[in-house]
Each structure stands twice: as C-alpha cells, then as structure tokens.
Amino acid sequence: MSLNIYENEGVFELHGKVSSYNAEQVKKYFEIMLKMKSRVIINLTLLDNMDVSGVYAFYELLLHATAEGKYLTFKGANNPSLQVAFLNSGCNLFEFNYFQLSA
C-alpha cells in the first residue's frame, strides 16, 4: 500500500503505510516542510501501519526540528495499528520533551 500525505487546516494527515520502503522519503518531505513553516503537526491516526523504520525516521525528524528551533508534534497516539512499532522501537513520539534537549 502506498502512502498519501494531505494537509488539512494546517495538519498533515498520513494515509497508508510508513515503512523502511518510504521512511527516508517521508522524513525528507517533512524536513522541507519544516524549512517552510515554523510549526508542523503530523496526524498519524489514519495510518494503516508503520514499522520501526518509520518510528525512527519520525524520531530523527523531531531531533532535526528541535535543533532548528522549529515546533513539530504528532497526533494519533491512540492508533492501535502503530502500537507494535512503538513498542519495538522504544521511542515515544507523543511525549517528546523539547526542553530536555535544549537544556
């Protein structure tokens, strides 16, 4: 299944699957969005699946955003299709502490 990204009222909605096949491209897409915007919100609620590569790509994106002084947040923590990827990765994108990195 492919991945589609739509912007809906300033929130980027992801539909489909984020995997090792497309995780790097997704990360690069949002790096470009972060260059154009100071604030990016990514909604993962409608994703059908995500693997550990996707979680790591989004985590690296959070680190990048923080280093650039940009605001990046994720919605969709309640999506049961993603829970295995988060458990296997050990990363939690939804409780990211920006202040810890800037201290």
In the chain, what are the helix, strand and coil shares in percent, each to the nearest 5? 45, 25, 25
* DSSP summary character for residue 38: S
- Indicate if the pLDDT at residue 60 is higher than 50: yes
pTM higher than 0.95 for the full model? no
Whole-angstrom distance, CA of residue 16 vs CA of residue 36:
24
Average pLDDT over residues 34-46: 94
pLDDT value at residue 1? 58
pLDDT value at residue 83? 85
Average pLDDT over residues 90-99: 66
- Indicate if the pLDDT at residue 42 is higher than 70: yes
Whole-angstrom distance, CA of residue 78 vs CA of residue 47:
11
Are the C-beta atoms of 30 and 19 separated by less than 8 Å?
no
pLDDT value at residue 52? 94
Between 40 and 91, the higher pLDDT residue: 40
Looking at every residue in the chain, the average pLDDT score rounds to: 88
Whole-angstrom distance, CA of residue 79 vs CA of residue 67:
28
